Amino acid sequence: MKGFRRSPTTSSGLRGMVAALTAGLLLSGCGAVNNMIYKTTGDVMKGFSRNHTVPYLMESDDLAMGCSMSEATAPLLMSFGRVTSEPDQLAVMLYLSSGSCAEEQAREHELAGLAAMHSMDATAAEDAFIRQKRAHTLAARRYLKSWQHHNSHYGNPDETECPDFDDDMDEFMYMAGLLSGLQALNAQIQATSSVGVPFNTGSVVGRATQCLDNKKWWGAPMGLRATVW
């Protein structure tokens, strides 16, 4: 009786199956390790940006650099929300700052339009004012994102009570979020087109400023209320 002999085809198939299973296990393990690394990196970056980058930029008098930094790093820092908790608090500052970039562009376009009008160049003036409205639209969208992230982190001021702040930076970011709400509404009006900013945002912000100590924050909360009322 002849002994059982494994055919070359069967042996090759088994080896292929084992190789595929081994590769799958290795790749799944790498994926788990990568996710852990990404999550840790995201948490570190969020903490570092909140505790060091934001205070550093606030101490700087180079507003243009802070503006450019927000535009350049916002996609990177916000992408960590895919692997860890959403960086809502940091997003308040990033989109508020990047919104001011677009608003500055709008002012430059307005000046160009006024210069063209002075030169009696109607076509150039019209083009400049169109660019101005587009820049205001972009600013409104960015400010709106800041306001939305503020509400995600602290809760909608129209539906929740005043939050308990962990520290002064936490309270400052709350105030910055309120400012972004007003800026979003103002930029939407300047753009003469809606980007989805609720028209009651001003009254909501006005009531929410009561959660802040007016004297502690240099009269800024009262200034925000005065803007609304």
165: left (phi over 0), alpha (psi -120 to 50) or beta: beta
Contact 145, 95 (CB under 8 A): yes
What gap in Å lies between CA 96 and CA 92, rounded to an integer?
6
pLDDT score of 171 more than 80: yes
133 within 8 A of 107, measured Cβ to Cβ = no
When pLDDT is cut at 50, 70 and 90, the band that residue 26 belongs to is very low
Higher-confidence residue of 172 and 228: namely 172
User: Taking CA 103 as the corner, what is the angle to CA 97 and CA 106, rounded to the nearest 5 degrees?
Assistant: 155
Using 50, 70 and 90 to split pLDDT, how confident is the model at 209? very high
Point out the least confidently predicted range of 10-14, 140-144, 210-214: 10-14
Q: Confirm if 146 and 88 have CB atoms less than 8 A apart.
A: no
Q: What's the average model confidence in pLDDT over 153-177?
A: 93
Domain residue spans of the chain: 65-79+87-228
- For residue 33, what pLDDT is reported? 55
Task: Classify the phi-psi angles of 196: left when phi > 0, otherwise alpha if psi is within -120 to 50, otherwise beta.
Answer: left
Higher pLDDT, 69 or 209: 209
Q: What is the DSSP string of 132-154?
A: HHHHHHHHHHHHHHHHHHHHHHH
Cβ contact 146:91 at 8 Å: yes
Each residue's pLDDT tens digit, 59-111: 878 888 888 888 988 888 888 888 888 899 999 999 999 999 999 999 999 99
Q: What is the mean pLDDT of the chain?
A: 86
CA dihedral defined by 151, 155, 161, 165, rounded to 10 degrees? -90
Q: CA angle at residue 149 from 33 to 101, to 5 degrees?
A: 105
Q: What is the pLDDT of residue 15?
A: 64
Q: Is 173 exposed, middle or buried (0-12, 13-18, 19+ CB in 10 A)?
A: buried
Q: Above 70 in pLDDT, residue 132? A: yes
pLDDT at 20 over 80: no
The confidence score (pLDDT) of residue 25 equals 45
Take residue 44 and report the two structure tokens written for it. Answer: 């570190």
3-state secondary structure of 15: helix
Q: Is the pLDDT of residue 187 over 70?
A: yes
Q: Residue 8: is its pLDDT beyond 80?
A: no
Choice between 30 and 85, residue whose per-residue pLDDT is larger: 85
Residue 56 reports pLDDT greater than 60: yes
pLDDT score at 44: 81
Let me know how long the chain is. Answer: 229
d(CA 136, CA 103): 6
Nearest alpha-carbon partner for 111 in 139, 132, 136: 132
